[in-house]
Structure formats: structure tokens, C-alpha cells
Amino acid sequence: MKPLELRELHDIEDLDAVVRLYADIWGTDADHAPISAEIMRALSHAGNYVAGAYENGRLVGASVGFFADPVGATLHSHITGAAIGRGIGLALKLHQRQWALARGLTRITWTYDPLIRRNAYFNLVKLGARPVQYLTSFYGVMDDAINGGDESDRVLTAWDLTAPDPSPEPSVAHAIPAGAVRGVINHDGRPLLGSTDAETVLIDLPDDIEALRRTDPGTARAWRLAVRDTLGGLLADGAHVVGFHERRSYLVRRPSPSK
């Protein structure tokens, strides 16, 4: 098997292939894919980031980003989609990182669904990015195979490109300090609200929110509201997400009280 090929995309034929890939990933038809070939063509022509990953000549992942505020420092990665489980998403992110550094940028931001555990692990542990803002129903209700008609809460995440390169074998475990409390508890698959009255708060996630949206929308919504209220409230109050514990819980640190 040939190594994964990553390259920028400009031609409309290549961008049409991205539309088809995204439609397959998000479970839509091509007319309702998350982004059109025409928009990608305009972004690419204006000097923004549009790239694809190819495995044996076949498109298996793509990413689209554009320059963002603060001007001259930030790339906003709008959408990335890739086949799961073969390191394609990580390869795209590292390609995006090198592209940004070559243009003097120091920061990449993006949004993701805070309830999807694999995405939280990938962003926080494998890349070392950190959530900085909770965005309630950012895109409204999204009726596709991933979002399942749920409200599209997102967290804005920032990746500091001046930090060391991501480790190929990141540590999963994070030490839990004495006195830590659980703000949201996964209790037999349902969210149970706990306490946030401590310096360190853990927020559990559901095992598979995408499956819950298909099979039990009521429980999926309960998870959405529990994490929205708890994680969103903590971030709004100045807390910081400092890790992701055992692939299932946000580790959040509140600011120390002023003396």
C-alpha cells in the first residue's frame, strides 16, 4: 500500500469528490452536503486551506479552513471529514498545522460536538487543543446521520501551534486531584447532575451519543442539556478544560478565588 498522499485541492473535479465524500460521511445527498464545491473553489482560489487525503489514489479525507481573527495569527478549520480508524484525520490535522506554520500562523481553531467522545479524545489528547468557548445551538437543528435532528451545540477549540508537536503516543490518563467533584455523571447511560463546587470538576460523556440520537432522542437531549449547563456554565465563568480523563470525562479546572 502506498503512503497516504496529502495535497491542496483547487480543481472543481477534485472539489466535487470532496462533496461526495462529505455527503457519505454526514449521511446526506450531494445537494445537501455540509459545503459546496463552489464555496471550496472560492476559498481555495482566495488562498485559504482546502486539502485532501488520498489512499491508493482514492479520496479518503478532506479539510477546509479559512483565515480568521486575530488576522495574521489564526486559521479557522471549518470542516474536516475522514474515514475512521486509519489515522487519516490526524494526518490531515498535521498537514494543516504545517500549512499554517509556513504562513506564519500560530493558532488553529475549530468547533466540534462536545458530546462525541472520540472527537473530544482526538482534539484534547492526541492534538493537545483546548476548548475555549461553549456555543449553544451554533448551527441550529441539523438533520443528518451524525446530528440526528439534535441542536448543534459546539465548543470552540484552539490549538496552539507554538506548543511542541503532538506526541505519537499520547498519555490517556490524567491525575485527579483530591477534592475533585463530578459535575455530570454517566449513571446507567443517563446523565445525572452532580456538583461543580470544587476547583476540579469532571464531566462524563455518553458512550455513544450518535446511537442515542437514533434510538433514544429523549436521553440524547438530556445529555445535551446536562453538558450544556455544566460545561457551558463553567467555561462562561472562566474555567479551563485541562484534560480528558479515561477517554470519557472532561477534566475542568475552575479559577482559584481571589485572595
In this structure, is the dihedral angle defined by the CA atoms of residues 111, 113, 118 and 121, taken in order, positive or negative?
A: positive
- Give the separation between CA 255 and CA 92, rounded to whole angstroms: 34
140 pLDDT tier (thresholds 50, 70, 90): confident
Higher pLDDT, 162 or 141: 162
Mean pLDDT of 60-75: 96
Query: Could you give the dihedral angle defined by the CA atoms of residues 119, 29, 59 and 170, in that order, rounded to the nearest 10 degrees?
Result: 0
144 pLDDT tier (thresholds 50, 70, 90): low
pLDDT value, residue 174: 64
* CATH architecture of the domain with range 5-160: 3-Layer(aba) Sandwich (3.40)
| CATH 3.40.630.30 residue spans of the chain | 5-160
**CB neighbours of 46 closer than 8 A, spacing ≥ 6?**
none
Burial class (CB in 10 A: 0-12, 13-18, 19+), 171: exposed
- Give the separation between CA 185 and CA 194, rounded to whole angstroms: 7
Number of residues assigned to the chain: 259
pLDDT > 90 fraction of the chain, expressed in percent and rounded: 79
Mean pLDDT of 139-158: 76
pLDDT value, residue 259: 42
pLDDT value, residue 29: 85
| In the predicted structure, residue 77 carries a pLDDT above the cut 50 | yes
pLDDT value, residue 83: 86
| In the predicted structure, residue 147 carries a pLDDT above the cut 70 | no
Residue 212 DSSP symbol: H
pLDDT, tens digit (0-9, with 9 covering 90-100), for 80-131: 999 887 899 999 999 999 999 999 999 999 999 999 999 999 999 999 999 9
Query: Do residues 63 and 79 touch, judged by C-beta distance below 8 A?
Result: yes
pLDDT, tens digit (0-9, with 9 covering 90-100), for 157-212: 999 999 877 766 665 556 788 899 999 999 999 999 999 999 999 999 999 999 99
Q: What is the mean pLDDT of the chain?
A: 91
Query: Which residues lie across from 53 on neighbouring strands?
Result: 6, 61
